[in-house]
Structure 1
Amino acid sequence: MTEERRRHFGAYLARLRRDAHKSQRQLAAMLCAVSGTHSLTRNEVSRWERGERIPESWLLFIAEVLGVPVGELERAAAYARGELEGPPFGAAVVLSELIPPGDSLTPHATRTGRRIGSGEVASLAARVHGLRLADDVLAGGDLMAPAFRELSKAIRLYHESTHTEAVGSALLTQVGELAQIAGWIASDAGRHEQAERAYRIGIEAARQAGDGPLVANLAGSLAYQLSNTGQERAGLDLARAALEEAGPGAPPKTRALFFDRVAWAHTRAQEAQPAMQALGQAHDTLTEADDDEAPQWAYWVSREELEVMDARVFTELHRPLRAVPLLTDVLRRYDATHAREVALYRSWLAVALADANEPEQAAREARRVISASVDIASDRTASRARDVLRRLQDFEEVPEVGNLLHDHGHLLSA
């Protein structure tokens, strides 16, 4: 455990150094200068960042050079030594470990590409939003190839083109937004490693652009994937870190989304009371929302979508009397062209109906989910169809359920 905590500390220190735009060699030289010694080398800084050592006698000087409170560093060191419970530095250590090694978005020292301006950035932004809108009606398997082609092209454009600092920052923001939707698409296709890599690249781009809400959206998207793939505690830590990263000044619409993701992470971790509290915070925050303040990527966040999450949480917590009316009402009003979402929401309704001891209705909804999933290239939908069948196995003596399992039980072994 102490070794893992030292590694956390090292990642945290590396994050602070990168945020100060210093190399390991530069940090070592600056620490020598302020301390009046010449004994520190880049190799020692590297050992700190790998978690091999804690720079006990250097904390005061590190704080001075990097411009961080010395108390924060001391608490972080105490955590690394095993003297404190719970990471004392909040989002910083969690997010620092998501930055890919090698500074993959550091611009090339010599650029030979053409000069670009705001027009090219606006064109990229339009393509990014086009992918978001396509994701509303198509599934991950349909969009993987074009999404990752666009991401690769955008990163290459940033590396190779020449541009002003303002254009470069705007371009990084679009790389971050593109990485988020590419990661979301990959996750829907069941390509979780590719999704995580995209999210990490996006976090790095958004950090360099200074876009806290976008960093939080990317981290929250990855947290959602972790929560749904058996890494509930990591998902919860990251969802809370994302909310903290966004800060209280983030647009209310985005904070409502981040609270919703925290609610789901608590739910998957079987923590009912914090989940319910986060749901309430999401709704309260959304009432303050002004669409003019929200970034374009938050276009889909609405009261209706929050109600869907409410119902999913209620279903997961086995509160069907609250889940069924919400899901029934949402599905009655939901855009039928969003076939994947409709199938997913019906899957939650089927489970809630089973919990409410209405297996016949649950079986009818399950058939609709399975029928839709055949035509949707979505791993999420296929997985939810299996979850519904597993839940209904408790009612196999009911004719409607028995027939359903006879027809589709083979999906459980897929």
Structure 2
Amino acid sequence: MEETTPHPLIAARLAAGLTMEELVSGIRAAAARRRLRSGTDDARVRKWQRGVEPDDESQVYIAEALGWPADIVRADDWPNWLPLTADGVVPLGPHSSVPALREALRTAMERRTFFAISGVALSALAADWAIGPAAALAQARDGKPVGEDFVTFLENTTERLACLPTEQRQHTPALLDAHLSTVTELLEHGRYTPALGLRLHTLAASLSQTVAWHRFDLGRHTTASQNWIAGLHNAHAAGDHDLGAGLLGDLAYQAAWRGDHTTAASILHHALTRAQNPAARCLLQLRLARTLAARGERSERRTVMRALAAAEKHLSDAGTDRPAWCAWVSEADLAVDSGQALLDLGDTGRAHRLITDGEGLLPTARDKTKGVFAAYRAASYLDLKEPEPAAAAATQSLLLARRIGAPRCISLVDDLIPRFQPYRHAQGVPELLHLAAA
């Protein structure tokens, strides 16, 4: 572990904006609220910062002194449960990759979400990434040696888990979490060569991205954000600008999904400054077009069309040498995302044709995407006031999503259900409403 890495208690205190004296005072006050007395002083806190473990009661007092509820404490996992930030975003820096992973793991362990990460904080992180040099790779100086064969095993099993068919990936979250926790431990406590360190950071970034999508599909947005942020830190440490841009693109996709298109556009503009691979730039431009169109501002129509044209050009330039996270980008995605952007711009006829054509191009392996596209097609039919084909598309999407375990796709259909109410007697609509209520 690097000697310059601060103890999590120091990081948590600084994130909370507390001096040592204020922390000590807060610990004593937490005990006093229980009509108890704490003998904590500066010397004892310094011992905790050097590796001495506080007892269970003291950990509860520490949490409350930092401004967090007592049930955040996991006394058997000191000091990993400590919150390292005030706003949920670990700042980019030369030693930030492991703390960002720890923050993501800590958030995943919490029983409830204590904060939502603001768009301002995410945009600031993206700006720092866009202008900053790559972070220095960690040089572990102690701990048990990490073997190349073991890292290869983790890389291969992670790739296999990520490449499983959609229907099987719903069974993998616990395995992916265990892999990410293992890689974090290796980075923090292992002894490895610079070459293995580069591979471990890259693996941590890839794992974090996969875990984030699992959380996002389940509607666990804060945990998803933390994993994408942790992935960004590790891609930054490894100097992989395309992967970093992809992780920012995922954060932008999440912001757009939640209706924060201003944050999404800001993040995507920063991501595009350093992305190089044509497939990566295609995906980022498609997401930019989608989020600009969704803002519904007529003045941005030209910007939307320029982004779609750029995406088409990048896709034509993309060869087989693509990053794994965007290897799947295809003519189907170009068609459907272009159609969705045009739908938001009011060009419903052309949008409907593109969405239908794009869905037909999808391979069987992308069932979840097919379900999402079917939901988009249902929305486009509703815009055209054609409830019968809309009901057929929504039913297809809902049945597919339930079969493969895709809650995000189910959510898309659920959001459309109120729009079917005026057409309760149209063919297929009563059956859809009954299915959605089941």
* TM-score, normalisation: structure 2: 0.65
Contact 2:331 2:358 in 1 (8 A): no
Q: Which residue of 2 aligns with 1:358?
A: 386
Q: Which residue of 2 aligns with 1:52?
A: none
- Equivalence map 1:244-259=2 (5 Å): 244-246=273-275, 250-259=276-285
1:93: Cα distance to partner? 5.2
The aligned amino acid for 1:202 is G
Pairing partner for 2:154 from 103, 118, 124 = 124
The aligned amino acid for 2:263 is A
Q: Which residue of 2 aligns with 1:265?
A: 291
Q: Which residue of 2 aligns with 1:237?
A: 266
Matches of 1:375 and 1:180 in 2, distance apart?
A: 24
Q: Which residue of 1 aligns with 2:249?
A: 220
For each residue in 1:279-337, what CA deviation from the matched residue of structure 2 results, as whole angstroms up to 9, or x when unmatched? 11111112222223x22332212222222211222333343211222232233332234
The aligned amino acid for 1:301 is V
Contact 1:139 1:340 in 2 (8 A): no
Q: Which residue of 2 aligns with 1:5?
A: none
For each residue in 1:119-150, what CA deviation from the matched residue of structure 2 results, as whole angstroms up to 9, or x when unmatched? 4443333233223312x523775332222222
For each residue in 1:316-361, what CA deviation from the matched residue of structure 2 results, as whole angstroms up to 9, or x when unmatched? 3343211222232233332234332221111111111121222111
Pairing partner for 2:166 from 108, 115, 137 = 137
Is residue 2:410 matched to residue 1:410?
no
**What secondary structure does 2:174 align onto?**
helix
1:106: Cα distance to partner? 8.3
Matches of 1:290 and 1:333 in 2, distance apart?
A: 19
1:381: Cα distance to partner? 1.0
Q: Which residue of 2 aligns with 1:317?
A: 345
1:95: Cα distance to partner? 4.4
Contact 1:182 1:198 in 2 (8 A): yes
Q: Which residue of 1 aligns with 2:222?
A: 193
Pairing partner for 1:112 from 143, 149, 159 = 143
Contact 2:166 2:404 in 1 (8 A): no
Matches of 1:222 and 1:315 in 2, distance apart?
A: 23
Gaps of 5+ in 1: 1-10, 22-86
Q: Percent identity?
A: 26
Contact 1:91 1:240 in 2 (8 A): no
For each residue in 1:173-232, what CA deviation from the matched residue of structure 2 results, as whole angstroms up to 9, or x when unmatched? 111111111111211121111111111111111111111111111111111011101322
For each residue in 1:261-289, what CA deviation from the matched residue of structure 2 results, as whole angstroms up to 9, or x when unmatched? 21222133334512232111111112222
- Equivalence map 1:44-123=2 (5 Å): 94-96=126-128, 107=138, 110-117=141-148, 119-123=149-153
CA RMSD between the two structures: 3.1
Matches of 2:147 and 2:295 in 1, distance apart?
A: 47
Q: Which residue of 1 aligns with 2:304?
A: 275
For each residue in 1:56-109, what CA deviation from the matched residue of structure 2 results, as whole angstroms up to 9, or x when unmatched? xxxxxxxxxxxxxxxxxxxxxxxxxxxxxxx9xx977534499xxxx9x98586
What is the number of equivalent residue pairs in this alignment? 319
Contact 2:126 2:248 in 1 (8 A): no
Matches of 1:152 and 1:316 in 2, distance apart?
A: 41
Change (3 A) 1:95 1:198: farther
Q: Which residue of 1 aligns with 2:32?
A: none
Change (3 A) 1:268 1:115: same
**What secondary structure does 2:259 align onto?**
coil
The aligned amino acid for 2:314 is T
Matches of 2:95 and 2:400 in 1, distance apart?
A: 51
Contact 1:320 1:355 in 2 (8 A): yes
For each residue in 1:12-41, what CA deviation from the matched residue of structure 2 results, as whole angstroms up to 9, or x when unmatched? xx968x3599xxxxxxxxxxxxxxxxxxxx
1:386: Cα distance to partner? 1.0
The aligned amino acid for 1:132 is A
**What secondary structure does 2:274 align onto?**
helix
Contact 1:111 1:159 in 2 (8 A): no
Change (3 A) 1:183 1:341: same
**What secondary structure does 1:375 align onto?**
helix
The aligned amino acid for 1:231 is D
Q: Which residue of 2 aligns with 1:338?
A: 366
After TM superposition, the runs of 4+ consecutive aligned structure 1 residues lying more than 4 A away are 90-93, 105-110
The aligned amino acid for 1:209 is A
Contact 1:315 1:348 in 2 (8 A): no
Q: Which residue of 2 aligns with 1:207?
A: 236
Is residue 2:410 matched to residue 1:382?
yes
Matches of 2:320 and 2:371 in 1, distance apart?
A: 28
Matches of 1:367 and 1:20 in 2, distance apart?
A: 49
Gaps of 5+ in 2: 1-86, 97-119
* TM-score, normalisation: structure 1: 0.69
